[in-house]
Structure 1
Amino acid sequence: MLGRFTRLLVATAQGYRYASNSASAKPIARSLRRSVLPDGPWKITEDKSHPLAHRVSKQMSIKPVTAITTSESYDLNKVIELLFQKGYQPVNLIPNEIVTFKYFYEGLQGDVMVIGQNGSVVSWGFDEASHKQHILPLIDGARTNPLPQSLYESEDLDYVEIESKEEWSQISSLVNVSGLEQSFIKEDLIVVDRTSGDKDMLDKAAFSSGISRSTMLAVLERNMEAHIESTRSFTELLSKGNRLNITEAEILKSTGRLFLMRGKLNLYSELIETPDLYWSEPTLETIYKQVSRNLDVPARISILNKKLDYATDESRALMSVLNEKKSTRLEWIIIYLITVEVCFELHHFYERFFGGKPDAHASLQE
């Protein structure tokens, strides 16, 4: 397995090329949280929600890492094809899972990682505005079941790259961590170790997988909230004893959406478990789990499953009410039919015994 990763790292180091056609891109508005200095590095201007990154940025170069989920998944073969057509040199960093390439923009450079199964793109060194305007359109045609742009989910953190022992000492004192010289995340800051050759690319891949896990989960959370909001009125009608203005077909569609959401969360993806790749690499597994804990992914998955349980129970209750109404209606139909049948029988009985016999006295006279 280690040999496999060594080959991947060598391929990554040899395969990276910078695309020259990105240098002429038009400037865009920057994120309010970050600004670009004339000489290139990113600087945290002011953000009370990112205190650690703000403190570190006073002494070290801080850059943004942005993850955006745009679809259910990406066709990685199509991603590679599109990037080659546009002059980039993509590398299949982790076969069938992650494709990465280098990107230039206005003197800045960074790594971009496409997480196929999560339908996410993670850019290292670019803010959300640049990410949406310039990076996502490069591989737009490789999306499977794409989301409308208004439903994109994003996550942005900050990171610093450590390239020497001296920088390790500096960052250790700034974040109050001692004796740790490998990539890690603390609070709002990712620390990437670049002192071990090209291993930083796999570390970034593990961070990217963890962050994209959060954005993919956010898509499902948004869908769940939309479902709850759409069915809230029916629950209120039930609580007031009013008549439900919903059809069986609508409830079946609602139930189908719930099963699909539950499947995407628990069956069709690796959201609830650690990907097989990281089980064989303790360092990468640690990074992946650190990011998940930092972004509250396990707790959010548990809460989402509980909401799915509630929504499923609600759907069953609505279906039960409709079935009971249907059963009651059928019972009344049967009662009406029996009543009509009884009326016919009474009419026949009357005709046989009262209206159908000839007059006996008249027949004797004849």
Structure 2
Amino acid sequence: MQRKRSVVTDEASAQQPTEETDMEVVAYSTAEEYSLEGLVRGLQEQNLYHPSAMSEDVHDVLHVAARYTLGAEPREIYLFREGTVVFWNVPELERRSVLDFLRQFEEGSYDSATVEEESDSMPYSYTEVFNKTRLVNGRILLNMEGSTDLEKYAFSNAMALSVKLGIWESALETYIDSIKHVTEELRKGGRIIMKKEEVLKKNGELFGLRHLINLSSDCLDTPDFYWDKDNLESLYQKTCNHLNIAKRTRVMNEKLNHCVELADLLTSNLQDQHHVRLEWMIIALIMVEVGFEVVHFLERYT
């Protein structure tokens, strides 16, 4: 049954949503990056969604709406270049179809099971209470008369960051599992046996993940777009707080610090093994030289 736009008439009902009145925002992170230029061409050929104009200072985001409506509430999609997509009022079957369509425009696609596991959703509806768009107890309330695409963008931006962070959290857990045997060997006092290429690869994975979280994303700071837009910044920050982005980022960095210490230990162990091999080579060369001297001595006095 198609959900219709709901109007909340008092604060009590604003805090107690019902399944019948709520629509849904669903976010996925499916790849490292989308080709938005290719997406625009693909959508034009498909002719099911039409791009909507965004503010000039909004970059690397494609906002589209369905050409064919199923009710009063439009079906909208925000596509972020960094490989995340946010659906507003889009049924699950249609979301699956769009996700399949996106595959051809992805770079560095993620595993489908991980994408599904790390997806996120929030309910939303419309309200006339306080005549202001806001977030109440994890529920988005859009102003009935004055809600804007930029307000939806602010919520979408925060949710896109959250699901991308979820993908990185999953990647870090996979990394931790992959080096679990190292800590076990250390605990037992055994010898760590890893090739140089393996150690370098593990270091590369670790520092690549650290770069993504701290330098290539907005996990640590508010995007410049919001600095002169107090209302939108408030919506973005409240959504980030609800999704625990700051806390999750801090926990990830603490885990990364421990992994860096272990990576340093692996590198140090590798260097020690290299030094030991050099020492044995030097000893072998000395033994060979001594052997030649002995042979020369015997030849001289025999």
- Which of the five TM-score ranges fits, normalised by the shorter chain? 0.7 to 0.9
1:145 maps to 2:95: no
Letter of the 2:269 partner, please give it. Answer: V
1:192 maps to 2:192: no
Give a deviation string over 1:87-122, Cα, whole Å, max 9, x none. 121124244332222235765853333332331111
* Equivalent pair of 1:100/1:111 in contact (CA under 8 Å): no
Letter of the 1:62 partner, please give it. Answer: D
Give a deviation string over 1:55-114, Cα, whole Å, max 9, x none. 3217x7211110011111222222222212111211242443322222357658533333
SS in structure 2 at match of 1:242? coil
Work out which of the residue numbers 164, 167, 173 in structure 2 matches 1:219. 167
* Equivalent pair of 2:124/2:140 in contact (CA under 8 Å): yes
Deviates more, 1:199-208 or 1:282-291: 199-208
Partner residue of 1:83?
43
Matches of 2:158 and 2:253, distance apart in 1: 19
Matches of 2:5 and 2:119, distance apart in 1: 19
Q: 1:187 Cα deviation (Å)?
A: 2.4
Q: 1:206 to 1:39 in 2, by over 3 A?
A: closer
| Percent identity for Structure 1 against Structure 2 | 28
1:121 maps to 2:85: yes
Matches of 2:192 and 2:240, distance apart in 1: 42
Letter of the 2:27 partner, please give it. Answer: A
Give a deviation string over 1:113-157, Cα, whole Å, max 9, x none. 333233111111135x33542232343332222223122131011
* Equivalent pair of 1:161/1:193 in contact (CA under 8 Å): yes
TM-score where L is the length of structure 1: 0.73
Letter of the 1:125 partner, please give it. Answer: N
Q: Provide the alpha-carbon RMSD of the alignment.
A: 2.4
Larger Rg: 1
Matches of 1:90 and 1:138, distance apart in 2: 16
Q: 1:214 Cα deviation (Å)?
A: 0.3
Matches of 1:245 and 1:68, distance apart in 2: 39
* Equivalent pair of 1:67/1:155 in contact (CA under 8 Å): yes
> Structure 2: where are the runs of 5+ without partners?
7-12
Partner residue of 1:275?
223
Mapping 1:213-292, distance limit 5 Å? 213-292=161-240
SS in structure 2 at match of 1:254? helix
> Structure 1: where are the runs of 5+ without partners?
1-37, 44-51, 169-179, 356-366
SS in structure 1 at match of 2:75? strand
* Equivalent pair of 1:117/1:269 in contact (CA under 8 Å): no
Letter of the 2:35 partner, please give it. Answer: D
Q: 1:188 Cα deviation (Å)?
A: 2.3
Letter of the 1:238 partner, please give it. Answer: L
* Equivalent pair of 2:5/2:72 in contact (CA under 8 Å): no
Matches of 2:76 and 2:103, distance apart in 1: 14
Q: 1:41 Cα deviation (Å)?
A: 4.2
* Equivalent pair of 2:199/2:266 in contact (CA under 8 Å): yes
Matches of 1:325 and 1:192, distance apart in 2: 62
The structure whose RCO (Cα within 8 Å, separation 6+) is larger is: 2
Work out which of the residue numbers 58, 61, 64 in structure 2 matches 1:101. 64
TM-score where L is the length of structure 2: 0.87
Q: 1:249 Cα deviation (Å)?
A: 0.3
Partner residue of 1:361?
none
Q: 1:247 Cα deviation (Å)?
A: 0.5
* Equivalent pair of 1:102/1:109 in contact (CA under 8 Å): no
Matches of 2:195 and 2:264, distance apart in 1: 13
SS in structure 1 at match of 2:54? strand
SS in structure 2 at match of 1:96? coil
Work out which of the residue numbers 159, 181, 198 in structure 1 matches 2:124. 159
* Equivalent pair of 1:210/1:292 in contact (CA under 8 Å): yes
Partner residue of 2:251?
303
Matches of 1:226 and 1:53, distance apart in 2: 40
SS in structure 2 at match of 1:57? coil
Letter of the 2:93 partner, please give it. Answer: S
